[in-house]
Amino acid sequence: MTTAPPRRPPRGLRDFYENPAVPVASGPSRSLRQARMLAAALGPASAGPRTVIDIGCGDGSAAATAAPLLAGHRVVGVDWSQDALRRAHAHLPYAVRGELTDGGLPFRSASADAVLFSEVVEHLVDPDSALDEIHRILRPGGHLMLSTPNLAAWYNRALLLAGVQPVFSEVSLRAIHGRPGTEVVGHLRLYTARALREFVNASGFEVVQLRGAPFHGVPRPMRPLDRLACRVPSAASILLLHARRT
């Protein structure tokens, strides 16, 4: 009997995200809540179809969840992972390769009506440049729909008091250390609701609203409490922010 060779540790972040074993989809509840916020901001396509850029589209499953609510609008997926883009084509008619650095996104300035930025900012080395590039491609008054895990989620507050590493935070690309869970997803930065508001405002956006969403990885017995925490966004698992380009 032969055994598979041990998995080679990633050489860096690019290697990590090109690995098809790394999860690229988030929970459907977050995707649906965010899509409802975006649909309300854009209005019906009968008033004029809008262009939505889904930056970090992953396998396209979030866009597929949003599609019924965005009927008539044009959604373009962007990702830097070739593997993710191959999977995204099953859900998105338009999916292109692009990066927030190294030359920027393949779109003209002020060409987008809205940007979906779903659970991407926590993976970035340089989030400031990323927001600058999003600001560039959005038209004045265009919508930014950003979601990210909440460092101050209700259970993280209790974990820190107990001296346990918070959920969503990671100290290695190879394994989880010091906190619950086993899945490594490459988080580099985490935000509280207050920090996220201040960061987005400082990048040339006006925050319209901040809402909460549950996390699909919460153990089943705790999920009712996680949904209840969404009523207080600063304690929710996931932060959903809607901002407009100034």
SS (HEC) of 162-189: CCCCCCCCCCCCCCCCCCCCCCCCCCCC
Give me the pLDDT at residue 71, please. 95
Give me the pLDDT at residue 23, please. 64
Ordered per-residue pLDDT tens for the chain, 246 residues: 444 444 444 456 667 666 766 665 557 889 999 999 999 999 999 999 999 999 999 999 888 889 999 999 999 999 988 888 999 999 898 999 999 977 789 999 999 999 999 999 999 999 999 999 999 999 999 999 999 999 999 999 999 999 999 999 999 999 999 999 998 999 999 999 999 999 999 999 999 999 999 999 999 999 999 999 999 999 999 999 999 999
CB 171 within 8 A of CB 165: yes
109 in helix, strand or coil? coil
Tokens of 84: 């993710």
136 in helix, strand or coil? helix
CA–CA distance, 36 with 69 (Å, rounded to integer): 7
Q: What is the sign of the dihedral through the CA atoms of 151, 155, 157 and 159?
A: negative
**What region, left, alpha or beta, does residue 96 occupy, with left being phi > 0 and alpha being psi -120 to 50 degrees?**
beta
Q: Cα–Cα–Cα angle for 80, 81, 82, nearest 5°?
A: 115
Give me the pLDDT at residue 104, please. 87
Give me the pLDDT at residue 63, please. 87
CA–CA distance, 154 with 158 (Å, rounded to integer): 7
CA–CA distance, 60 with 94 (Å, rounded to integer): 10
Give me the pLDDT at residue 17, please. 65
Give me the pLDDT at residue 49, please. 95
- Cα distances from 134 to residues 4, 13, 139, 144, 175, in angstroms, run 42, 21, 10, 8, 32
Tokens of 244: 């407009």
